[in-house]
Amino acid sequence: MGVLKLLFLLLLMLISLSAPTVAGKTTRHRHRRLKVHSHLKKLNKPPVKSIKSPDGDIIDCVHMAHQPAFDHPLLRNHTIQMSPNFHPEGILRESKVSSKASKSKDITQLWHLKGRCPKGTIPIRRTKKEDILRASSVKSYGKKKPHATVKPTSIDIDLNGQNGHQHAIIYVEGGQYYGAKATINVWSPKIQQTNEFSLSQIWILGGTFGEDLNSIEAGWQVSPDLYGDNNTRLFTYWTSDAYQATGCYNLLCSGFVQINNEIAMGASIFPISSYKGSQYDISLLIWKDPKEGNWWMQFGNKYVLGYWPAFLFSYLTDSASMIEWGGEVVNSESDGQHTSTQMGSGHFPGEGFGKAGYFRNIQIVGESNSLRAPEDIGTFTEQPSCYDVENGKSDDWGNYFFYGGPGRNPNCP
């Protein structure tokens, strides 16, 4: 009987010790669920109309005045600028090459197959609970990790390219830049792990690449962690403090003011280029309105999407000191092997058109608010045996470069 009493007492002690742990876990889970629910409510504004895209996305047509930008305290009484005061002059004509050339005019977004948003609204990709739960925290959802941009001349570059970001880019620096343009070949690179991504973009940069870096970014990306799939998507990003606290992708925080009802940030691009097949590309232009000081973005030749208000930035309130064009991937392998996540088409630039990814018609916006060819172009990649870049110039394509690679291969173990 004494033994039974002792066992019973021990059992009661174990239960009493474990109860707070179970209760603590339950409380934490409930707290996180409430935070997720609250964040979803903040991001997903009441729609005028909703469209279900073939890729599973839901595109909400939200009244322009109700978009996430106006959650920012400094935008509460903001009057929307419905069009830029000035548009850069001197845009290069689109190349007129053979029938196998890029078909930029055919590019659209997948959700367009199921409908369009009415005037006075903007299309916003609806955030799902699963999207936020994939992030390490509610606070980090929609944000890059700090110090995700490389300065090609920096001595702090991780030359081994292990456990970090890798690039294959061209760049200009040392001047005053008021915008940039490029036509970017669109692919669907393979991603090895869900916490990795592959993107191709333009960077508009100011600051010291320390804690005060200002960056405006736009292009296409494949990011399973952010979107929950491997679709190629149009994206934007901004930060004013080197990705520490400010900024986010697309419309996932207050900041970017969208005015266009036809293009959705974060939505899938369609169609995509194929190896030795049809090639598709998108044209992106970012420029500073010299009157209001806002940074504007245009997609293609006719879609002026919106602007980043000047007050979001410190260094970029005047001009950019560096422009970068190219690809970036995350290499998160920890066993010494390189990731097999692809950049661009997943093929090296030496393979050329129809096989390697490219940027063409690369231009910068100068002080006179006119587009011109960049001068003194530099190239940079951490590991050319993994991802590389080769630039050139022609009458049809202006300044251009091929870039990318497969990641892990016999020369990039």
Note whether residue 356 is domain-resident.
yes
Domain count, the chain: 1
- The whole-number pLDDT of residue 12 equals 66
The predicted structure's pLDDT at residue 17:
60
Catalytic residues: 217, 328
Could you tell me if residue 113 is inside a domain? Answer: no
Predicted model pTM = 0.89
Could you list the pLDDT tens digit for every one of the 413 residues in the chain?
Answer: 566 677 766 666 666 665 555 556 677 777 778 899 999 999 999 999 999 999 999 999 999 999 999 998 888 889 999 999 999 987 544 444 333 455 555 678 999 999 999 999 999 999 999 999 999 899 999 999 875 677 786 544 444 444 488 999 999 999 999 999 999 999 999 999 999 999 999 999 999 887 889 999 999 999 999 999 999 999 999 999 999 999 999 999 999 999 999 999 999 999 999 999 999 999 999 999 999 999 999 999 889 999 999 999 999 999 999 999 999 999 988 777 899 999 999 999 999 999 999 999 999 999 888 999 999 999 999 999 999 999 999 999 999 999 999 999 999 98
Query: What pLDDT is stored for residue 183 in this prediction?
Result: 97
- Do residues 149 and 203 touch, judged by C-beta distance below 8 A? yes
Residues 6 or more apart in contact with residue 140 via CB below 8 angstroms:
none
Q: Name the residue range of residue 180's domain.
A: 43-80+120-150+163-404
22's CB contacts (< 8 A; 6+ apart) are none
Establish if 281 belongs to a structural domain: yes
Question: Checking DSSP bridges between strand 233-239 and strand 214-222, what pairing results, if any?
Answer: antiparallel
What pLDDT shows up at residue 193?
A: 93
Q: Is residue 182 part of a domain?
A: yes
Please tell me the predicted confidence (pLDDT) of residue 112: 97
* CATH number for position 74: 2.60.120.1270
30 located within any domain: no
* Rounded-to-integer distance, Cα 161 and Cα 125, Å: 33
**Residue 217 phi, psi dihedral angles, 5° rounding:** -135, 145
Map residue 112 onto helix, strand or coil: helix
Which amino acid, residue 174? G
* Sequence-ordered list of residues with C-beta below 8 angstroms from that of 82, at least 6 positions apart, any chain: 259
Domain membership flag for residue 114: no
The C-alpha atoms of residue 100 and residue 354 are separated, in whole angstroms, by: 8
**Torsion sign over Cα 306, 312, 315, 317:** positive
359: β partners: 184, 401
Q: What is residue 93's predicted lDDT score, i.e. its pLDDT?
A: 44
Specify the pLDDT at position 102: 52
Q: Is residue 212 in some structural domain?
A: yes
pLDDT score for 149: 72
CB 347 within 8 A of CB 404: yes
Is residue 247 one of the residues assigned to a domain?
Answer: yes
The single-letter DSSP state of residue 220 is: E
Q: Residue 115: how many CA atoms within 13 Å on its side-chain side?
A: 14
